[in-house]
Amino acid sequence: MKRIGVVGLGLIGARHAQAVLAHDGAALACVVDPDAALRARFDVPGFAALADVDLPLDGVILATPTALHADQACLALGRGWPVIVEKPLAGDLAGADRIVAAQASTGLPVLTGHHRRHRADVQALRALVQGGAIGRPVTASCLWAMKKPDTYFQTAWRQGREGSPVMLNLVHDIDVLRFVLGDVTGVQAMAGASLRGATARSESGAVMLRFDSGAVASIAFADTTPSPWGFEAGTGENPNIATTGQDMLFIAGTGGAVSFPSLTLWRGAADWGEPPMAQRHDAGPSDTLGAQLTHFLAVIDGAPPLIDAADARATLATTLAVETALAVQSEAP
Ligand SMILES: NC(=O)c1ccc[n+]([C@@H]2O[C@H](COP(=O)([O-])OP(=O)(O)OC[C@H]3O[C@@H](n4cnc5c(N)ncnc54)[C@H](O)[C@@H]3O)[C@@H](O)[C@H]2O)c1
């Protein structure tokens, strides 16, 4: 049994702690949060700060506000603890660079919490696309149009840039697109109107990405729209978000197309005069956080992380480039 500490017991940290409790190979050794009431929900030793932990641990899961990730990841690695750092890896590239450097200097692994990479359906999508099932990927379109409850923004750190749907949600979609289509070489974006009156963060927008293969993708996003389209709604991966089962990612190539999460493959048409035939693939269910935790236990034993700090830094760099592009509003000619 690996002794795991969970740091931060908010929305996602509480789910990590439950995942550790439910896992056969892990024991919840301690929880860390300045909020004593949150610590009291778990019948294990609790600490107000990571620096106070005086127990032997085999690994740490950091689920704290993004601005704390760099300091806490470096502290954990310095104590000799492999770490899962929730996404985004850090609030800026300087923070990400400190984590990458600490990973290198300690020789200890960092797994970043881009948990979608651990899903069977995401891995099946990647295998289909990279295996040539749609020929050469040419273009992709992704939708993330959810409505977050107003109470979500009462938490102070979510009112600034780190609470934007780009930093919190699109960072996942960008990472899935990188996982499936490869590295990003170009970014453009345009912000939509502010409906909540947020000034320090975006609420909606349209993003364009170019990949080193020459493929391009668009992402339309909003956190003000109660639509059925978004990764969590489509896959049912998050118990806090209602499931619709609708597709939200469409990838077209020279030999066909695939939509996700239904994993519907469209093939067989030579050109637009012929109808492509649809074929569904079933990747089976995924316990996303459980699968990530199983992988983390293997990483502690020496397996390479599915997404280490350097790889997550690349996802963060694209995400921050989107934020920068959103801030530049161009006028129609
Ligand atoms: N992987 C995912 O799907 C997913 C989902 C939600 C959030 N996240 C990420 O997880 C992180 C946390 O997000 P959240 O929505 O759970 O936030 P949250 O505000 O709900 O929870 C953060 C928790 O950290 C605690 N905290 C604050 N300072 C601390 C400190 N110094 N030491 C220990 N704990 C401290 C707070 O008391 C709070 O309980 C963010 O980086 C976010 O981007 C990831």
16 lines ligand 1 (CB under 6 A): no
Closest by alpha carbon to 258, among 127, 98, 158?
127
In this structure, the residue with its CA closest to atom 31 of ligand 1 is 49
How do strand 216-222 and strand 204-211 relate by DSSP bridges? antiparallel
Q: Which CATH homologous superfamily contains domain 120-283+317-331?
A: Dihydrodipicolinate Reductase; domain 2 (3.30.360.10)
CATH number of the structural domain 2-116+289-307: 3.40.50.720
Q: How far apart are CA 3 and CA 197, in angstroms?
A: 44
- pTM reported for the whole predicted model: 0.95
Q: How far is the CA of 14 from the centre of ligand 1 (A)?
A: 9
Q: Indicate the domain borders of the chain.
A: 2-116+289-307, 120-283+317-331
Task: For residue 194, report the phi and psi dihedrals to the nearest 5 degrees.
Answer: -85, 115
Cβ partners under 8 Å of residue 295, min gap 6: 111, 118, 303, 305, 306
Cβ partners under 8 Å of residue 165, min gap 6: 144, 148, 202, 203, 204, 221, 222, 223
Q: How far is the CA of 283 from the centre of ligand 1 (A)?
A: 30
Cis? peptide before 261, omega within 30° of 0: yes
The pLDDT score that the predictor gives to residue 160 is 82
The pLDDT score that the predictor gives to residue 331 is 62
Residue 243, CA distances (Å) to 14, 148, 262 in order: 21, 14, 13
Pocket test for ligand 1, best of 15, 33, 171 (most atoms within 8 A of CB): 33
How does pLDDT run along the chain (333 residues), one tens digit per residue? 999 999 999 999 999 999 999 999 999 999 999 999 999 999 999 999 999 999 999 999 999 999 999 999 999 999 999 999 999 999 999 999 999 999 999 999 999 999 999 999 999 999 999 999 999 999 999 999 999 999 998 888 888 888 899 999 999 999 999 999 999 999 999 999 989 888 888 999 999 999 999 999 999 999 999 999 999 999 999 988 999 999 999 999 999 999 999 999 999 999 999 999 999 999 998 899 999 999 999 999 999 999 999 999 999 999 999 999 998 765 666
Q: How far apart are CA 316 and CA 174, in angstroms?
A: 9
How do strand 110-112 and strand 216-222 relate by DSSP bridges? unpaired
The pLDDT score that the predictor gives to residue 158 is 87
Tokens 């499931």 belong to residue: 243
The pLDDT score that the predictor gives to residue 330 is 59
Q: How far is the CA of 80 from the centre of ligand 1 (A)?
A: 22
